[in-house]
Amino acid sequence: MTVAVVGAGAIGGLLGAHLARSGQDVILIARGPHLAAMQANGVTVHSRQGNFTARPTCTDDLSAVAGADVVFITLKAHTIPGVAERVGGALRRDASVVGAMNGIPWWYFPDRHLQSVDPGGVIARSIPLEQVVGCVVYPAATIVEPGVIDHEEGDRFSIGEPDGAKTERVQRIAGMLTAAGFKAPVQARLRPEIWLKLLGNATLNPVSAVTRATLAEMFQSEDSRRLIRALMQEVAAVARAIDVELPVSIEKRMQGAAAVGEHKTSMLQDMEAGKALELDALLGAVIEIADWRDVDVPFLRALYGLAKLAEAVGKRD
């Protein structure tokens, strides 16, 4: 298959490198020094399983998705509206679009768009729902220098149709990911898994941006554990308000996060790099759903305000 990866940063580059190594025809769409390095030297992946370099096609031209059977969107969620029309306009009608990003995805509610995720519904208008395949991303990776990706942990991409059907296309994509060295379970109920990951992303990521703490540091004191527990309880309450029961307890989710150790969340990495934070898809969307379903989330609102302030101060510095 021909596979395009829109937003080939750490996760997109990791994904594309593995797919290219397994024999797929891969097009990585990126920009800046990272793109230049990949064009010159390929994509190098460092991991505990060993290092390798792949040499897929690399470009900054979004129209390159026109030749793809499968398009992975691995951009930060807040940047997707800015490219949605160009990507959607170039797609083949039979192409599958896999939304591989954090937070509540734009397709989550078929009959309602979240302003925090899809302002004005531009993504939904540009990318037909029937072409969308859902995805929950678990690998943690960092660009350590342009063209070089450190794969820290995780090898799972859970995928599923928005309606839960086990279609031929979703099984074909899962097979392709498995052949590339990933775990790729096809989930009939992807939404609870989205919320399970969001339970951490909506809380730990903004906390890290405000405090600059690693995951290990967040769980060192009972005070911080109590705060994180309260934040996660509010996220779980919002999930229940839209009939989603989390498959794992909050205590177990906290234990899993603490076990990761001295890891900087992607939001903390963005904060340190002076980049815009992925706050709205991760936390703003939860608050927007809470408003819709009349769920009281005072801790989440306070965290959102603090994170927005930290972002503004960081840009000023």
**Distances from the Cα of 165 to the Cα of 1, 130, 160, 230, angstroms:** 22, 12, 8, 35
Summarize pLDDT for 56-98 with one digit per residue, the tens: 999 999 999 998 999 999 999 999 999 999 999 999 999 999 9
Token pair for 221? 């004191």
**Distances from the Cα of 209 to the Cα of 19, 218, 250, 305, angstroms:** 32, 12, 21, 12
Same domain, 146 and 213: no
Same domain, 125 and 211: no
Contacts of 231 (CB under 8 A, 6+ apart): 202, 203, 207, 299, 300, 303
- For tokens 């839960």, the residue is 164
Statement: the pTM of the whole predicted model exceeds 0.75: yes
Overall average pLDDT of the 214-232 stretch: 95
Contacts of 31 (CB under 8 A, 6+ apart): 60
pLDDT band at 317 (very low <50, low <70, confident <90, very high): low
Write down which residue in 135, 166, 188 finishes a domain: 188
Residue 197 falls in the annotated catalytic set: yes
Write down which residue in 157, 188, 219 finishes a domain: 188
Domain count, the chain: 2
CATH number at residue 74: 3.40.50.720
- Report pLDDT for 262: 86
Same domain, 114 and 211: no
State the helix-helix crossing angle for 298-316 and 285-293, rounded to 10 degrees. Answer: 150
Summarize pLDDT for 9-59 with one digit per residue, the tens: 999 999 999 999 999 999 999 999 999 999 999 999 999 889 999 999 999
Of the residues 76, 166, 197, 264, which is catalytic? 197
Same domain, 90 and 140: yes
- Report pLDDT for 264: 87
Same domain, 53 and 165: yes
Angle at 65 between CA 62 and CA 69, to 5 degrees: 165
Same domain, 279 and 236: yes
Task: Report the candidate in 89, 115, 95 with the shortest Cα–Cα distance to residue 104.
Answer: 115
Same domain, 127 and 221: no
Same domain, 154 and 131: yes
- Report pLDDT for 314: 79
Domain span holding position 254: 193-316
In the predicted model, is pLDDT for residue 273 greater than 90?
no
Contacts of 243 (CB under 8 A, 6+ apart): none
